[in-house]
């Protein structure tokens, strides 16, 4: 079965119809095509609801299953629809949009602080990146000013693709030290911020993003802390 990544084809789709392809032994639902983003790359899985003729289930999260499938995890034990049922998927859109805004902001943070990334996390309206640094980063106010200046440029956020050989030949595209981009399918998705000579960032990423940086809104740098001899954590949050 080929799972169509609806969350990638249109990250602004908050509702989609599909059919139930399978049920897992643990009670998860596997849709033929998922509008729910499965947890990965530091971004949480989407939550929301599944409707079918005869019922509704609240979905707590989505995770990756076998063979590229997406598994929707119910928030509580419930009667499940039979395999093959027509489903309507409804995202908790405000939560997903917060993930999109903060995820794009974190890509820009890696532009402001051009150092290897050792870890990261995305939440609704807040997130952080860990950087390999053997010296303190710039002051919080300076990072915040530079980050918001990039956001205010209202740069387009688009995607490109590169084959596995091309990525291997351009290791500088990969900013993360501990998480390698998925390979083995022949090509890897790249997220580009800006266009042409205005490109400020290009890196492998499978997550969801806003269409333009101005959609992020103002961002605050909430904390900078040391997480080891050569690890500095920078946390950010949306200012509204």
Residue 125 sits in the same domain as residue 205 = yes
Q: Is 186 exposed, middle or buried (0-12, 13-18, 19+ CB in 10 A)?
A: exposed
Residue 170 sits in the same domain as residue 60 = no
Q: If you search the block for the tokens 């609704």, which residue do you land on?
A: 124
CA-based radius of gyration for the chain: 19
Distant-in-sequence, close-in-space partners of 176: CB < 8 Å, separation ≥ 6: 116, 117, 118, 120
Residue 104 sits in the same domain as residue 178 = yes
Instruction: Note the pLDDT of residue 80.
Output: 94
Residue 150 sits in the same domain as residue 221 = yes
Residue 64 sits in the same domain as residue 126 = no
Distant-in-sequence, close-in-space partners of 153: CB < 8 Å, separation ≥ 6: 194, 198, 213, 214
Full domain range(s) for residue 105: 96-238
C-beta of residue 68 within 8 angstroms of C-beta of residue 45: no
- Domain boundary residue among 42, 72, 91? 91
Residue 126 sits in the same domain as residue 192 = yes
Residue 52 sits in the same domain as residue 169 = no
Residue 212 sits in the same domain as residue 100 = yes
- Domain boundary residue among 67, 91, 115? 91
The CATH number for 129's domain is 3.30.980.10
Q: What is the pLDDT along the chain (240 residues), one digit of tens a residue?
A: 334 489 999 999 999 999 999 999 999 999 999 999 999 989 999 999 999 998 999 999 999 999 889 999 999 999 999 999 999 999 999 999 999 999 999 999 999 999 999 999 999 999 999 999 878 899 999 999 999 999 999 999 999 888 877 777 787 777 775 566 665 567 888 999 999 999 999 999 999 999 999 999 999 999 999 988 889 999 999 998
Which helix (H) or strand (E) element contains residue 93?
A: helix 93-112
C-beta of residue 31 within 8 angstroms of C-beta of residue 72: yes
DSSP E strand stretches across the chain: 4-5, 15-23, 29-31, 33-34, 48-52, 55-64, 70-74, 86-91, 117-123, 126-132, 157-163, 187-193, 201-204, 219-226, 231-238
Q: Give the predicted TM-score (pTM) of the model.
A: 0.92
Report the SS3 class of residue 147. Answer: helix
- What count of other Cβ atoms lies within 10 Å of the Cβ of residue 60? 14
């Amino acid at each position: 079965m080929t799972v169509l990544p609806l969350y990638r084809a249109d990250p602004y789709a908050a509702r989609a119809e599909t059919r139930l392809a399978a049920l897992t032994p643990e009670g998860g639902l596997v849709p033929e095509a998922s509008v729910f983003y499965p947890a990965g790359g530091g971004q949480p899985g989407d939550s929301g609801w599944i409707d079918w003729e005869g019922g509704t289930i609240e979905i707590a999260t989505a995770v990756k299953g076998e063979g590229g499938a997406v598994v929707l995890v119910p928030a509580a034990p419930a009667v499940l629809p039979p395999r093959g049922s027509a489903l309507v998927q409804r995202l908790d859109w405000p939560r997903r949009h917060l993930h999109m805004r903060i995820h794009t902001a974190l890509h820009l943070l890696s532009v402001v602080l051009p150092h290897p990334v050792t870890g990261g996390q995305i939440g609704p309206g807040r997130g952080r990146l860990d950087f390999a640094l053997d010296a303190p980063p710039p002051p919080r106010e300076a990072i915040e000013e530079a980050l918001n200046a990039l956001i205010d440029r209202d740069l387009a956020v688009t995607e490109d693709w590169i084959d596995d050989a091309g990525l291997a030949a351009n290791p500088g595209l990969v900013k993360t030290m501990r998480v390698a981009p998925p390979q083995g399918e022949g090509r890897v998705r790249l997220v580009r911020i800006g266009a042409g000579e205005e490109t400020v960032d290009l890196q492998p990423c499978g997550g969801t993003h806003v269409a333009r940086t101005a959609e992020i809104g103002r961002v605050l740098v909430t904390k900078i802390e040391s997480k080891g001899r050569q690890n500095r954590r920078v946390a950010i949050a949306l200012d509204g």
